[in-house]
Amino acid sequence: MRKTAAAALVVLGLWVTAAAPAASPVVAPAALPVVVPASPVVAPAALPVVVPAAAPVETVFIGDSSTANFGIAPTRGPAECLRSAENYPVKVVERLASAGVRLDVRADVSCGGARIRDVWEAQSFSPSGAAGVAPQESAVGPDTGLVVGSLGGNTAGVASILKQCSQRLRGDEGLLMPADPVDASSPPSECAAFFGNGRAGQEWLAARMAAVRQDLGRMFDRIGAQAPNARVVLVGYPRLVPADTARCLAEVPGGSEKPFADIGQDALEFLDAGVQRPLDALMREAAEEAGATYVDLYASTGSTTGCDGARRGIGALLEGSEVRFGDRELPWYVHPNRTGRDLQAAGVAEAIEGLLGT
């Protein structure tokens, strides 16, 4: 603040007697202005602008073997779930952290073999139906801000469809795949006709797809009731079969197995056009109806199917995976390999980053 000083000038007059000679007039010198230097104006130091970091979003990962990334070692969690310690949820968190988006992962309850209904029912691994893993929704609560995962394939009966179409899967090589063929009396060579023209196969598949739609609707409702502020991300499945099924006739690089073992080309065409494509569309519709986000991996992985050689993101049906069960190597059973896992993570991370508005 500037202060102004006032200068006071005092003039003294001399009185003289009349007899005294007149004095020369005294002319006072012109008063010089008194300049008081102003105090320097110092601008206050600029304070650093601190933008508070966004709070981490409390997140729960749910899902089946596609979220658990069956086949990628090492595993963690319940032994029955065969959940990889390096599954796509782990990679999603890493990707988002590098972009400044923080997720507080409260739980990853993804589990191999999970159906949609295992979100609200205990998942059983026993023929007797005894409960083995708690319902996945038990990890979700009022503070949950994000729920992410892949569910639908097991409810649609994909494993049973594969066994319906493969003689090898019906034997010892398929013992570790917990499913039965739809109709063991119908030969695998007639698989496409069984589902495409046969009444029994058509009705079975239609009922499965109807169950997917109904159960997804119930799942969204239950998550919404338990976590009203949560955003839900339903993750689709990577594409298994290419448009050109002739590419599936060659053995996988460095191996002796064909990508889909003994499943015929007509059955592979049905698996893509009659099963996976309709399932993808159904999952998208259910997510949109519920106001959830859908990650369409089918559309983005057409060049990395199980039959795309060195680029493939899907492990071959009966090719050994990274995981062993006792002294036995588990087959991939057409699950995402590490390349596929990274493609899953990239698609999911991009969707979450856009959803959270960063």
Residue 186 predicted with pLDDT over 60 = yes
Residue 332 predicted with pLDDT over 80 = yes
Dihedral sign (CA 211, 177, 295, 247)? negative
Q: For residue range 232-250, what is the model confidence (pLDDT) as tens digits? A: 999 999 999 999 999 999 9
* Global confidence as pTM: 0.84
pLDDT at 7: 35
Give the model's confidence band at 176: pLDDT under 50 very low, under 70 low, under 90 confident, else very high: confident
* φ, ψ (nearest 5 deg) of residue 201: -65, -40
SS3 letters for the chain? Answer: CCCCCCCCCCCCCCCCCCCCCCCCCCCCCCCCCCCCCCCCCCCCCCCCCCCCCCCCEEEEEEECHHHHCCCCCCEECCHHHCEECCCHHHHHHHHHHHCCCCEEEEEECCCCCCCHHHHCCCEECCCCCCEEECCHHHHCCCCCCEEEEECCHHHHCHHHHHHHHCHHHHCHHHCCCCCCCCCCCCCHHHHHHHHHCCHHHHHHHHHHHHHHHHHHHHHHHHHHHHCCCCEEEEECCCCCCCCCHHHHHCCCCCCCCCCCCCCCHHHHHHHHHHHHHHHHHHHHHHHHHCCCEEECHHHHCCCCCCCCHHHCCECCCCCEEEEEECCEEEECCCCECHHHHHHHHHHHHHHHHHHCCC
| Residue bearing the bigger pLDDT, 35 or 109 | 109
Q: For residue range 198-231, what is the model confidence (pLDDT) as tens digits? A: 899 999 999 999 999 999 999 999 999 999 999 9
* Cβ-contact 338, 354 below 8 angstroms: no
pLDDT at 25: 42
- How many angstroms separate the most distant Cα atoms in the chain? 156
Residue 4 predicted with pLDDT over 80 = no
Give the model's confidence band at 22: pLDDT under 50 very low, under 70 low, under 90 confident, else very high: very low
pLDDT at 358: 58
Q: For residue range 66-88, what is the model confidence (pLDDT) as tens digits? A: 999 999 999 999 999 999 999 99
Give the model's confidence band at 178: pLDDT under 50 very low, under 70 low, under 90 confident, else very high: confident
Residue 277 predicted with pLDDT over 80 = yes
Average per-residue pLDDT for the chain:
88
pLDDT at 43: 52
Q: For residue range 285-319, what is the model confidence (pLDDT) as tens digits? A: 999 999 999 999 999 999 999 999 999 999 999 99
Region 47-70: mean pLDDT is 83
Catalytic positions are 65, 113, 154, 335
Residue 47 predicted with pLDDT over 60 = no
36-40, 163-167, 274-278, 351-355: range with lowest mean pLDDT: 36-40
